[in-house]
Structure 1
Amino acid sequence: MSPLEALAIGLAGLAAGTINTVVGSGTLITFPTLLAFGVPPVTANVSNTIGLVPGSLSGVVGYRRELVGQRARMLRIGVASLIGGIVGGVLLLVLPADAFSAIVPVLVGLGIVLVLFQPRISAWTARRHEAAGAAPRNPTYGAWWVWPAVLLAGVYGGYFGAAQGVLLMGIMGVGIPETLQRLNGLKNVLAAIVNAVAGLLFAVVADVDWRIVALIGIGSVIGGQLGATVGRRLPAPVLRGVIVVVGAVALVVFLVS
């Protein structure tokens, strides 16, 4: 690996760490960069996943103020991400590449729609509950379907991970009565759990390029702090717009690749 390639991979890790903390989809920067330098796809994927773990943890630290009061929520929903990340990592190792990637555009598109229409969907759901005299959804854990939906997002994140944040924000934005900034902090925790458990699995049984892991890891830690600084200053409509734009770019990349 030349010094220029090492610099490019480190900068890609920094950009990915920043984007992952704000919304997700940082893998769309690092993964193509590694492929462009001739790294085999599976090696690139597993090395990238492990390398982004420190950046995910950096984003969690950066958003620690938004996580105050969410401990019970993190513990319960985090179990779904833990299980999903394990399943997704195993699928990457045992299934052919085309077996799961066909559904990726559908999942990303669904996440975009959920984020875009989240205010209207949430308001409609609240009015429907009022009209029917139904008990409101649990303000801590959200709607009943949030846990299994987060589990499925974890499966996807453990398998590949790009736009995992878009899916999580779409799911939680509709299913949990909470501000987008606090949900974004929770999203960083869930993504960190998925990346960590999948990365641990890959470190044990997969072909990992540890030079790549180190370069992406250093860059993503710096990017995680930058992303937290930028992300928490964005008003909810702007943050929603960023999520939709990044998700749309991810969708186009999947469709044309």
Structure 2
Amino acid sequence: MTEYLILAAAAFFAGMLNTVAGGGTFLTFPALVYTGVPSVAANATSAVAVFPGYLGGALGFRSEIAALDRKQLLKTVAATAVGGLAGSLLLLVSSNEAFSAVVPFLLALATLAFAFREQLQGWAQRHSLGKPHGPFGTLLVALFGGYFNGGLGIVLLALFSLWGMRDLNLMNGLKNGLSFVLSAISVATFAAAGIVAWPQAILMMVAATIGGYAGAPVARALPAGVVRAIVIVVGATMSAIFFWRLIA
């Protein structure tokens, strides 16, 4: 019972954090590993657990998403689906040992990309990357997200910054929508492969959905600086924990 309470609480706050700024899997993945689920199965189960929360978050930002250019949005969604499928298939051929070794670096990369996204945006603008010119960047981010869902929202926000987007609510809405598309593909892939711990996943799906919808008004109410600080602190903390696990 204690383990299930831990998983439910982690999923609720993960759903809220994903809606606010991303990084919710920084909570669900460690919680699953802590309760004894092997790392690859924990990653797959975590992806299943948080994906309904993305839908709740997207619905919470539906007015912001409706303001986006329809044609560009469809192209971005298609690139996200292709990259997410490729990343999910890549996870299926990874061993627990190999996956555990690469996780700390992926977490650190996601956190650094978000922390220094303003500098990255300036570099992108100087090199004529201030607007989305093609699907390549989206494909790469989706590949990352399909392989390791942790930090997906953070990397998506960094990508949007490279595109020149400034409105954090608009960025959060698009992030949640794309995360839902990618995670739906990952969930189908992992379920077909039989690597999902379903009792834990179902409990966490319910909690993450509630947290995801609750996160939209929180995101609007919090100052942008506070949201950014939360993501950076969570990402840095989890990166340090998993580096410690790797070398211990």
1:11-30 → structure 2 map (5 Å cutoff): 11-30=9-28
Normalised by the length of structure 2, the TM-score is 0.85
What is residue 67 of structure 1 aligned with on the other side? 65
Tell me which moved more, 98-107 or 197-206: 98-107
Match of 2:45 in 1: 47
5+ residue gaps, structure 1: 130-135
Q: Give how far 1:117 is off.
A: 3.8
Residue of structure 2 equivalent to 1:133? none
Q: Which has the larger radius of gyration?
A: 1
- Listed as ranges, the matches of 1:1-257 within 5 Å are 3-70=1-68, 71-99=70-98, 104-123=103-122, 126=125, 128=126, 142-144=131-133, 147-257=135-245
Cα distance in 1, alignment partners of residues 61 and 174 from structure 2: 9
Q: For the structure 1 residues 48 and 175, does the alpha-carbon distance in structure 2 shift closer, same or farther, using more than 3 Å as the test? A: same
CA positional deviation for 1:82 = 0.8
- Asked if structure 1 preserves the Cα contact closer than 8 Å seen for 2:57 and 2:212, the reply is yes
How far apart in 1 are the matches of 2:216 and 2:185? Answer: 23
Q: Structure 1 residue 31: deviation in Å?
A: 2.0
Aligned-residue CA RMSD in angstroms? 2.5
CA distance in 2, matches of 1:218, 1:182: 25
Q: In structure 2, do the counterparts of structure 1 residues 250 and 122 end up closer, same or farther at CA, with 3 Å as the change threshold?
A: same
- 1:144 and 1:110, CA in 2 relative to 1: closer, same or farther beyond 3 A? farther
Aligned equivalents of 1:106, 1:73: Cα separation in 2: 31
How big is each residue's C-alpha offset from its partner over 1:192-225, in whole Å with a ceiling of 9 and x where there is no partner? 1111100011111223332112100110011101
Question: Contact 2:15 / 2:215 at 8 angstroms: preserved in 1?
Answer: yes
Identity in percent: 36
CA distance in structure 1 between the aligned counterparts of 2:60 and 2:16, rounded to whole angstroms: 11
Q: Offset of 1:158 from its aligned partner?
A: 1.3
Return the alpha-carbon distance in structure 2 between the equivalents of residues 40 and 124 of structure 1. Answer: 40
2:4, 2:99 → 1: CA distance? 31
Structure 1 contact 112–170 (Cα < 8 Å) conserved: no
The residue type paired with residue 89 of structure 1 is S
CA distance in 2, matches of 1:109, 1:153: 15
AA at the equivalent of 1:65: S
Aligned CA distance change for structure 1 residues 103 and 150 (closer, same or farther; 3 Å): farther
Give the drift of 1:103: 5.1
Q: Structure 2 unaligned runs (5+)?
A: none
Q: CA deviation at 1:108?
A: 4.2
